[in-house]
Amino acid sequence: MKITTRFLFFLLLACCQHAFSQARYTAWDSLALTPPMGWNSWNFFEARVSEQVIKDMADAMAANGMKAAGYQYLVIDDHWVGGRDKHNQLYPDPERFPHGMKYLADYVHGKGLKLGIYSDAAPLTCGGVTGSYNFEEEDARTFAGWGIDFLKYDYCNAPEDVTTAFARYARMGDALKKCGRPIVYSICEWGPRKPWLWARAAGGHLWRTTWDSRDVWESHNTNLTGMMEIFRQQENLAPYAGPGGWNDPDLLMVGLYGKGSSSSVDGRFKGCTTTEYRTHFALWCMLAAPLMVNMDLRTIDAETLRLLTNKQLIAINQDALGKQATTVLKRDSLQVLLKPLQGHAFAVCVFNTAASNAAFDIQLKKDLDLWQPFRIQEVWSGKNVSALKGTLAAHDCAVYILEEGQK
Ligand code: GLA
Q: Is the CB of 154 under 6 A from ligand 1?
A: yes
Q: Is the CB of 248 under 6 A from ligand 1?
A: no
Catalytic member of 212, 215, 248, 296: 212
Q: Is the CB of 260 under 6 A from ligand 1?
A: no
Q: Is 154 a catalytic residue?
A: yes
Contacts of 294 (CB under 8 A, 6+ apart): 39, 40, 42, 43, 44, 251, 252, 253, 254, 255, 256, 260, 263
Q: How far is CA 135 from CA 124, 130, 255, 271, in A?
A: 12, 11, 37, 39
User: What pLDDT does 4 receive?
Assistant: 53
CB 189 within 8 A of CB 207: yes
User: What pLDDT does 20 receive?
Assistant: 47
User: What pLDDT does 7 receive?
Assistant: 46
Q: Which of 210, 212, 248 to mutate to test the pocket of ligand 1 (most atoms within 8 A of CB)?
A: 212
Whole-number Å distance, alpha carbon 209 to ligand 1 midpoint, is 13
Residue whose C-alpha is closest to residue 213's, from 44, 390, 366: 44
Q: Is the CB of 189 under 6 A from ligand 1?
A: no
Q: Is the CB of 212 under 6 A from ligand 1?
A: yes
Dump the DSSP string for 169-196.
Answer: HHHHHHHHHTSSS--EEEEES-STT-GG
Whole-number Å distance, alpha carbon 77 to ligand 1 midpoint, is 8
User: What pLDDT does 36 receive?
Assistant: 98
Strands 345-352 and 397-404: antiparallel
User: What pLDDT does 5 receive?
Assistant: 57
User: What pLDDT does 24 receive?
Assistant: 77
pTM across the whole model: 0.94
pLDDT digits (tens, 9 = 90+) for 32-57: 999 999 999 999 999 999 999 999 99
State the Cα–Cα distance between residues 193 and 29, nearest whole angstrom: 22
pLDDT along the chain (407 residues), means of 10: 51 48 79 98 97 98 98 98 98 98 98 99 98 98 98 98 98 98 98 98 98 96 91 97 98 97 91 98 98 98 98 98 98 98 97 98 96 96 97 98 86
Whole-number Å distance, alpha carbon 398 to ligand 1 midpoint, is 32
Q: Is the CB of 136 under 6 A from ligand 1?
A: no
Q: What is the mean pLDDT of the chain?
A: 94
Q: What is the separation of C-alpha 28 from the centre of its chain, rounded to a whole number of angstroms?
A: 18
Q: Is 59 a catalytic residue?
A: no
Q: Which of 80, 118, 188 to mutate to test the pocket of ligand 1 (most atoms within 8 A of CB)?
A: 188
Q: Is the CB of 127 under 6 A from ligand 1?
A: yes
Query: Half-sphere exposure of residue 150, counting CA atoms within 13 Å on the CB side?
Result: 27
Query: Half-sphere exposure of residue 63, counting CA atoms within 13 Å on the CB side?
Result: 9
Give me the sign of the Cα torsion angle 55, 57, 63, 67: negative
State the Cα–Cα distance between residues 57 and 62, nearest whole angstrom: 8
